[in-house]
Structure 1
């Protein structure tokens, strides 16, 4: 009888341990999705600001004017931010980073900075430009600037994924999730 009791106790303990690991996995995934949702909310706000049709575009054109096309890339040949492409918004990075315990936002920014500038889409360029805000200098912007600099130095997405190992998502997955919403 004691053998059966010991084996049942052992099986219950093993089942409990496996359930704990599963619960940790579920909680980790939920935090990752929350971080992506916050990043998505930020992108929607930026999209509302920059994609409004102007009065010039809605009125009929009386004459045609040649216009210059702005380069989509964020960086110049020296990999430094170009000032004319600077976006000045008051983004609450503290709130965003405190709501992202897994560091998915930092991982996302690092992986974007690690990409080649020619491979960046316009949306990705805008996201990178949002990081450099001259009005704010606090712990949150320092973390994001570190992520940008680490990504530029590493120049490999895998290095960013290893550094921010708690975030299970790659940059392409996060961009697809952002576009999906």
Structure 2
């Protein structure tokens, strides 16, 4: 079983440097389940890194950041803290590695792993 009950989809349209987003669907995430299986705090590291500006040109990163912004009020305190740290570390992503030293992965690597996992599950 996945920790998400519905697939989060959002239409993203690029027009030059402008990105327009529409049509988000509701998603229920089992945050406690995810966190209980993440002893190295990689989810928090990913949130921190993305909110600090890592992978800002990635469509997947933009979708995750938008999702987090819209749902941070229902996320656990650990995710909220990572979110706040990321905003505070804007432009200094390397500080997230200090905050979450047991997760050695960059946001780029974690996004690739998530994409691979998603493609594997849906194919």
Same fold (TM over 0.5): yes
Q: Give the Cα–Cα distance (whole angstroms) in 2 for the partners of residues 102 and 179 of structure 1.
A: 20
The 8 Å contact of residues 88 and 133 in structure 1, kept in 2 or not, is answered as no
Residue from 6, 12, 35 that aligns with 1:97: 35
Q: Distance in 1 between the 2:107 and 2:80 partners? A: 17
Unaligned runs of 5+ residues in structure 1 are 1-40, 52-68, 74-83
Structure with higher strand content: 2
Residue 133 of structure 1 pairs with residue 71 of structure 2: yes
Deviation of 1:50 after TM superposition, in Å, equals 2.1
2:61, 2:20 → 1: CA distance? 10
Show the counterpart of 1:110: 48
How many angstroms apart in 1 are the aligned matches of 2:107 and 2:32? Answer: 21
CA distance in structure 1 between the partners assigned to 2:47 and 2:54 by the alignment: 13
- TM-score for both structures, normalised by structure 1: 0.49
Gaps of 5+ in 2: 118-123
User: 8 Å contact 1:90–1:135 — kept in the other structure?
Assistant: no
1:85-140 Cα shifts (integer Å, max 9, x gaps): 876422111111111111000001110001168x242211221233242773xxx5
**Aligned-CA RMSD value:** 3.5
Q: 1:161 maps to which residue?
A: 97
Map of 1:13-162 to 2, 5 A cutoff? 46=7, 49-50=8-9, 71-72=19-20, 88-115=26-53, 119-131=56-68, 132-133=70-71, 136=74, 141-155=76-90, 156-162=92-98
- Structure with more of its chain in helix, by fraction: 1
Distance in 2 (alpha carbons) for counterparts of 1:85 and 1:142: 28
